[in-house]
Structure 1
């Protein structure tokens, strides 16, 4: 881990271990502290945002013991420096990622200001209420939000992110397997792939290098094979989860699917906190795979200035007739349409047996997730 990442790691850990439980967004540090904080370039002074709310979610809703949570960020080797584990740049947004030393939690930076403000101001309270009434929700469990209470030079220059989310790591347990067995784990970051992606679609896809285009969207080359009841429960839960995202005008979220061979089940520990089927693992009908899944990246609002700018850009492409008319992008479509396409993607992804025992991908949307996808 390089010096920059080590300093960012230290800032995150300092905020996690700080004795002051809550960072009240209505009150900030003193003048002298703000002056010192402003000149920070890499080692930013982070604080927990609405710490009491996230502690309530951790302890009461997800049943993550506070001592277990805090100890997850300590080095397992006594006397050694505590550092997060850098897992590099995994996202198209330029976010940086770390895992806790025991791999139970994932830390992701939010470098884009509109994502931070959308989550804090528009979605957080609704998210917390939804998690309280739906403890088995597939929305990723966000256990902490770290931020800089005052402006910093590092954030202005882009040398260090000033917001980080701490969340569950759905890949927990992979590091417990042997190297060969770790290679058998598969991950897919799935979005509706029939939207317009300029990097992929314009001028024969020459707008961006392959290394960038490969991170735009994944394609699952198989089917998720579960029972009828398991599919109904999954579709119903995703319909509930995406309804609050639609109401908040969120788009571009993804279905993060993990699968690993069922033969590894005995070597994979249980995920922390209150279990739910798609977190602890659902075994495929043929007994070959174990599936895990959550909903990720619900921080892009259709109201964001960037979304409006990209909408105008797509309209310009169509006006100039560059190749052919292009439909909306996943970040410029309406939240209602994105939810409909997202649910159709889930329907198409899952294969269930029909009445004769043969595989079938057809299933009527369950009544408790509303009568039809159009109405969800």
Structure 2
């Protein structure tokens, strides 16, 4: 881990393990504290945003033991320095990713201000209410929001993110398997592929490295094969989940699909561990109807509002790009389309992705889920 990542990791751990009395938590930092905090570049003084609210989600709704949660951020080796584990490289948005030492939770930074404000001001309360009513929701479980309560130089010049989300890690269990089995795990970040993605297409795709562009939209080269009941359960839950996103005017979210061979086993007890907390079939793992694969599914990246200033500005960019392409229309962008239209295409993508079999074990063909008739 580089110096920058190590200092960001230290900031995150400092917020997780910091203890404050209620009185201290409500007291605004003084002028001297603000001045000292402002000149921080990489190691920011982070705090937990609405700490009690997220604790209630963890404990009451998702049934994640608080001690288990805290211990996830500690090193399993006594006396060894506690560090988060940096994973991957920077995404197109500049996000930084870590996992906890035991791999149960994922930490993702939110470097873009409009995503931070959208989640805090418009989506968080509906998200909490939805989770309380739907504990099996497939929206990714966000267990903490860490933020810098004061302005900092590092965040101002864009070298250090001021907000970090702590989330469930749907890939938990992979590292417990034999090395050869780990290589067989597959992940897909799925969005409707009939949209125009300027990050990939504008200026010949020179706005981002190829490794990042390759992850903008994935294509699943197969079908998710399950029973009729399992498909109905998935579609019904996604209808409920996308409804609150639609009401918040969110677009550009993804279906994150994981699959690994059904024969995969952990090296310790033979069973692949599932993500912590109260389980649900599509989160813990659904066995394919041909018994070859196990699928896990969640929804991620629901932080872009259709009416954000950036989205409206990009609409003009698309029109300009279409003009430069001699009138060739590349269609709407995922970040500038209406939330109704995005939801409709997203659910149609899922409906086409999942294949059910008839009583003889043969593909039942294109059977549109009755949940989607007139609903999307």
**TM-score when normalising by structure 1:** 0.94
Q: Give the 5 Å matches for 1:289-328.
A: 289-322=293-326, 324-328=328-332
State the Cα deviation string for residues 22-47 of structure 1 (Å, max 9, x = none): 79997531222111111111110000
Taking the aligned partners of 1:46 and 1:218, their CA distance within structure 2 comes to 34
What's the CA shift for 1:264? 1.2
What's the CA shift for 1:318? 2.7
Taking the aligned partners of 1:24 and 1:131, their CA distance within structure 2 comes to 29
What's the CA shift for 1:106? 0.1
Taking the aligned partners of 2:200 and 2:303, their CA distance within structure 1 comes to 22
The 8 Å contact of residues 351 and 368 in structure 2, kept in 1 or not, is answered as no
What's the CA shift for 1:89? 2.4
The 8 Å contact of residues 22 and 52 in structure 1, kept in 2 or not, is answered as no
Equivalent residue number for residue 336 of structure 1: 340
Equivalent residue number for residue 64 of structure 2: 64
The 8 Å contact of residues 147 and 162 in structure 2, kept in 1 or not, is answered as yes
Taking the aligned partners of 1:64 and 1:169, their CA distance within structure 2 comes to 13
Taking the aligned partners of 2:147 and 2:209, their CA distance within structure 1 comes to 33
**TM-score when normalising by structure 2:** 0.94
The 8 Å contact of residues 186 and 259 in structure 2, kept in 1 or not, is answered as yes
Structure 2: 5+ residue stretches without partners: none
- 2:104 counterpart of 1:100: no
151-160 vs 138-147, greater mean Cα deviation: 151-160
* Distance change >3 Å, CA 268–CA 371, structure 1 → 2: same
Taking the aligned partners of 1:270 and 1:287, their CA distance within structure 2 comes to 18
Taking the aligned partners of 2:69 and 2:206, their CA distance within structure 1 comes to 45
SS in 1 for 2:103: coil
327-336 vs 16-25, greater mean Cα deviation: 16-25
SS in 2 for 1:245: helix
SS in 2 for 1:80: coil
- 2:145 counterpart of 1:141: no
286-295 vs 266-275, greater mean Cα deviation: 266-275
Q: Give aligned pairs, total.
A: 372
Taking the aligned partners of 2:90 and 2:132, their CA distance within structure 1 comes to 30
The 8 Å contact of residues 350 and 361 in structure 1, kept in 2 or not, is answered as no
Taking the aligned partners of 2:6 and 2:66, their CA distance within structure 1 comes to 25
* Distance change >3 Å, CA 366–CA 20, structure 1 → 2: farther
SS in 1 for 2:264: helix
Structure 1: 5+ residue stretches without partners: none
* Distance change >3 Å, CA 21–CA 135, structure 1 → 2: farther
The 8 Å contact of residues 202 and 321 in structure 2, kept in 1 or not, is answered as no
Equivalent residue number for residue 76 of structure 1: 76
Taking the aligned partners of 2:174 and 2:298, their CA distance within structure 1 comes to 16
Equivalent residue number for residue 110 of structure 2: 110
* Distance change >3 Å, CA 24–CA 232, structure 1 → 2: farther
* Distance change >3 Å, CA 361–CA 213, structure 1 → 2: farther
**Root mean square deviation, CA, Å:** 1.9
Q: Give the 5 Å matches for 1:128-277.
A: 128-202=128-202, 210-265=210-265, 266-277=270-281
State the Cα deviation string for residues 81-104 of structure 1 (Å, max 9, x = none): 100000032532120100000000
What's the CA shift for 1:358? 1.7
Taking the aligned partners of 2:18 and 2:208, their CA distance within structure 1 comes to 43
Taking the aligned partners of 1:271 and 1:202, their CA distance within structure 2 comes to 38
SS in 1 for 2:107: strand
Taking the aligned partners of 1:299 and 1:271, their CA distance within structure 2 comes to 23
SS in 1 for 2:144: strand
* Distance change >3 Å, CA 205–CA 154, structure 1 → 2: closer
The 8 Å contact of residues 262 and 288 in structure 1, kept in 2 or not, is answered as yes
The 8 Å contact of residues 105 and 169 in structure 2, kept in 1 or not, is answered as yes
- 2:362 counterpart of 1:358: yes
* Distance change >3 Å, CA 213–CA 139, structure 1 → 2: same
What's the CA shift for 1:364? 3.5
What's the CA shift for 1:179? 1.4
SS in 2 for 1:94: coil
Match of 1:282 among 278, 283, 286: 286
What's the CA shift for 1:210? 3.2
